[in-house]
Amino acid sequence: MEKLLIEKVAVITGASSGIGKSISLLFAEHGAEIVVADIDESKGREVVQDIEKAGGNSFFLKCDTSQSKDCEQLIERTLEKYGRLDIAINNAGIAGDSAPIGDYSIEAWDKTIAINLSGVFYGMKHQINAMLKNEGGTIINMASILGKVGFATSSGYVAAKHGIIGLTKNAALEYAKKGIKVNAIGPGFIGTPLVENNLNDEEVEQLIQLHPQGRLGKPEEVAELALWLASEKSSFVNGAYYPIDGGYLSQ
């Protein structure tokens, strides 16, 4: 197997579970040093152990991405440990509440925007400043199909994911000449705890029917797209949004 990320240092937020975990395992297999960043310390340490058992190099840092200070310390400690930052995946996110706007609580709105949108801005701010100190880097922001279309009763999530796509474009424009590439991924519904813990079997079945391929995606499939975007194979891809959705957005 050709290893695509040899000696690259990658910070991955929301890496204790689901898509972030799959990205961490795949990137480690491809030779990257992985900083597993999450609020869930015990699951995060398990991901580190899995990487080490497979012969990779990784360490866990606790980080609540809705806190700017945490995002700053995450990058400071990464630089202390590895001396550089090459790849950042801003993936941490929550589903947020499910209610029409008139009933959507202010607390739920604030929390969803803080984690799913402000967290990406805080992350990029510090990641970009670290990448400017070496010869650049690549950032991938985890948006969603719901960054392109609405989904009734998910206004906090939908607004945050649309915002991520805008932030991605701006960051790409601002740093393209400085060797930093910034792209966004838009998964359809993926079989992870974010979906499985929030929905019953009937609701999951309804979601499956929304995807022309007739199934949910797998976190490993999203990780393959992230790998390509993080590698030199996508060297002229910048400011882009890549859906990975079994055809959802083609309808």
Of residues 179 through 208, those in contact with ligand NAD by CB under 6 A are: 187, 189-190, 192-195
Q: Please tell me the distance from the alpha carbon of residue 212 to that of residue 245, in angstroms, as a whole number.
A: 9
- We find the least distance from the C-beta atom of residue 88 to ligand NAD, in angstroms, to be 13
Is 175 known to be catalytic? no
CB 99 within 8 A of CB 20: no
Judged by CB under 6 A, does residue 243 bind ligand NAD? Answer: no
What is the pairing mode between strands 9-13 and 180-187?
A: unpaired
Catalytic residue, chosen from 82, 122, 157, 248, is: 157
- We find the least distance from the C-beta atom of residue 186 to ligand NAD, in angstroms, to be 7
Cβ-based neighbours of 45, under 8 Å, separated by 6 or more: 60
Q: Which is nearer to ligand NAD, 235 or 250 (CB)?
A: 250
Among 5, 9, 32, 66, contact with ligand NAD (rule: CB under 6 A): 66
Judged by CB under 6 A, does residue 156 bind ligand NAD? Answer: no
Judged by CB under 6 A, does residue 159 bind ligand NAD? Answer: no
Question: For ligand NAD, what does the binding mask look like between residues 2 and 41, x meaning CB under 6 A?
Answer: -----------xx-xxxxx-----------------xxx-
Cβ-based neighbours of 183, under 8 Å, separated by 6 or more: 138, 139, 140, 141, 168, 172, 229, 234, 237, 238, 239, 240, 241, 242
The token pair that represents 109 in the structure block: 């709105």
Binding site for ligand NAD (CB under 6 A): 13-14, 16-20, 38-40, 63-66, 91-94, 115, 142, 144, 187, 189-190, 192-195
